[in-house]
Amino acid sequence: MPHRYHLKLYIAGRTQRSEQCIVNLHSICEMELRGEYELSVIDVLENPQLAEDDKILATPTLIKKLPPPMRRLIGDLSEKEKVLIGMDLKDL
């Protein structure tokens, strides 16, 4: 089955905040996307060129590449409601 969601999470180093963010993201994805997602976690400290390519400023930044439209979410994903709206999983 093809993955419907393509997500990229940019973090700056493995810190408490970034670890928490990854945990938050996985829980949202398991709950809302029922496994139909592909997630890549990119550490900008190790791959600054990728951060440059996607014009990432803030960390953490989550980019929803698919399905369109492309969305950009900034922050540790602690505000779940906003995350769902931002990912087009919920209407305003």
Partner 1 sequence: MEGHQDIEKLATHIPGFDLIAAGGLPKGRTTLLAGSSGSAKTVFAAQFLAAGIRIDENGVFVTFEEPKEDIRSNVKGFGWDIKSWEKEGKWAFVDASPEPNQEATVVGEYDFGALLARVEYAVKKTGATRLSMDSVGAIFTRFSNQGVVRRELFRIVAALKEMGVTALLTVERIEEYGEISRIGVEEFVADNVIILRNALDEEKRRRTIEILKFRGAYHQKGEWPFTVSSGEGVVVLPLSAIELTQKSSDQRVFSGNEELDGMCGGGFFRDSVILVSGATGTGKTLLATKFLAGGASQGEKCLMLAFEESREQLIRNARGWSEDFVGMEEAGQLKIICSYPEIASLEEHLIEIKDAIEEFRPNRLAVDSLSALERVATVKGYREFIVGLTSFVKHREIAGLFTVTAPTLLGGTSITESHISTITDTIILLRYVEVYGDIRRGVVVLKMRGSKHEKEIRQFTIDAKGMHIGRPFRGISGILSGNPVQAGADEIERLNELFKTE
Euclidean distance between CA atoms 69 and 51, whole angstroms = 20
Backbone angles phi, psi at 89, to 5 degrees: -95, -10
28 token code pair: 């949202």
Q: Which of 7, 9, 21, 22 binds partner 1 (CB under 8 A)?
A: 21
Nearest of 8, 13, 24 to residue 76 by alpha carbon: 24
State yes or no: residue 10 binds partner 1 (CB under 8 A): yes
Instruction: Kindly tell me which residue out of 6, 17, 66, 89 binds partner 1, with binding defined by CB under 8 A.
Output: 17
Among 3, 4, 13, 67, binds partner 1 (CB under 8 A): 13
> Of the ranges 1-9, 31-39, 51-59, which one interacts with partner 1 (CB under 8 A)?
51-59
